[in-house]
Amino acid sequence: MCASKLFASVLALSLSGCGLYVPEIQENPFDRNAGQHLVQDIALNIRCEVQDAIVGLYAKNAEIDPENRNLKWFDSWAAQVALTLTTDEKGSVNPVSNWIPVPPPVHVFNFNLGGTLSSDAFRVDKISSFFLVSDFKKLKACSPQDRNRGLFILENDLKLKEWLFDTMTTADNGNTPIPTGVTGPFKSNVLSHEVKFDIVSSANATPGWKLAEVSVNQSGNLLTASRDRIQDLIITFGPADPAWTIDPITKKPVKTSPSLSIAASNSMLASEIGNAVSNAIENSSPPRSF
């Protein structure tokens, strides 16, 4: 019993916490403020991405239509942003030993002993934001100095502006119906842009010993650890759908905060469900190694 307890303790210590605790969102686990700064930088970068795309669209369109008459329908639209940060850490220990009681070259008996201990810690963080196009078109593009310059979602160009320009070109050419109002049949029109990064890092270590009668860890990996970070950003444009409700005190109808139309909301929800299913399937696989 003491031997088994000692064996389990050694295995647990060998994992060094990988997969045993809630993962840190930042890459440096020793910098407690890094997580806060990372979230703030990502939120600012996403806001600037939406703002620059809308401001740039109206500025580009004004070159051929100074009053932006062909974008009047877009004035009443809104953007729903969903950011999902998934962090998955896995760790495993797999010691293997082979005992040969009779020294070589006479091999009459050998005894193999092995064991496996694995752990998996999974974390999902979500940020959802809602913006009105009419609010952003009054602003200027973000200053380049304010944009974050980094990898993945911190990249200073997530191609949203390019996507808006491309889709508006199809509308101008008549290939995509242009909504004539927020209450008409074209209220179901939706524009969606998704960017996804999957960053995987892994490591393994296998120290081995070979004695006269015992060999330890001569094959396989003793320690294996991996960290998988998935950054998924979904930006959905659609008609704003202000709803009316009855005030419980005055008993009069009041307008609530605007939201996306039903079609746009359903499109956003479907994208988030698909993303969640994809991440669940991917993270059910064993740790990757390179």
Q: Total structural domains in the chain?
A: 1
- Comparing 146 with 238, the larger pLDDT belongs to 238
3-state secondary structure of 278: helix
- Helices 34-61 and 160-172: crossing angle, nearest 10°? 30
As a whole number, mean pLDDT of residues 102-126 equals 71
- Amino acid 54: pLDDT: 94
Q: What is the mean pLDDT of the chain?
A: 74
Cβ partners under 8 Å of residue 185, min gap 6: none
Query: Which pLDDT does position 188 carry in this prediction?
Result: 60
Q: Which of the two residues, 1 and 244, has the higher pLDDT score?
A: 244
Instruction: Judge whether 13 lies within some domain.
Output: yes
Exposed e or buried b per residue across 66-94, where buried means at least 16 C-beta atoms within 10 angstroms of its C-beta: eebeebebbebbbbbbbbbbbbbbbbbbb
**Could you tell me the pLDDT band of residue 17, with boundaries at 50, 70 and 90?**
low
Q: What is the DSSP string of 77-108?
A: EEEEEEEEEEEEEEEEE--EEEE-SSPTT---
Q: Which residue has the higher pLDDT, 25 or 99?
A: 25
Q: Within a domain: residue 135?
A: yes
Q: Is residue 289 part of a domain?
A: no
Q: How many CA atoms lie within 13 A of 25 on its CB side?
A: 18
Question: Residue 78 belongs to what domain range?
Answer: 2-283
d(CA 288, CA 224): 9
Q: Is residue 197 part of a domain?
A: yes
Q: Looking at the domain assignment, is residue 261 inside a domain? A: yes
Q: Is the pLDDT at 170 greater than 50, yes or no?
A: yes
Mean pLDDT throughout 87-99? 78
Q: How confident is the model at residue 5 (pLDDT cuts 50, 70, 90)?
A: very low
**Across the chain, where does the E strand assignment appear?**
77-93, 96-99, 111-114, 117-132, 191-205, 209-210, 214-216, 223-239, 244-246, 253-255
In a domain, 169, yes or no: yes
User: Which of the listed ranges 11-20, 146-155, 209-218 does the model predict with the highest average pLDDT?
Assistant: 146-155
pLDDT of residue 50: 93
Answer whether residue 124 is part of any domain. Answer: yes
Q: Within 13 Å of residue 191, how many CA atoms lie on the same side as its CB? A: 25
Rank 71-75, 149-153, 217-221, 261-265 by mean pLDDT and report only the highest: 71-75
In a domain, 288, yes or no: no
Beta carbons of 23 and 123 less than 8 angstroms apart: yes
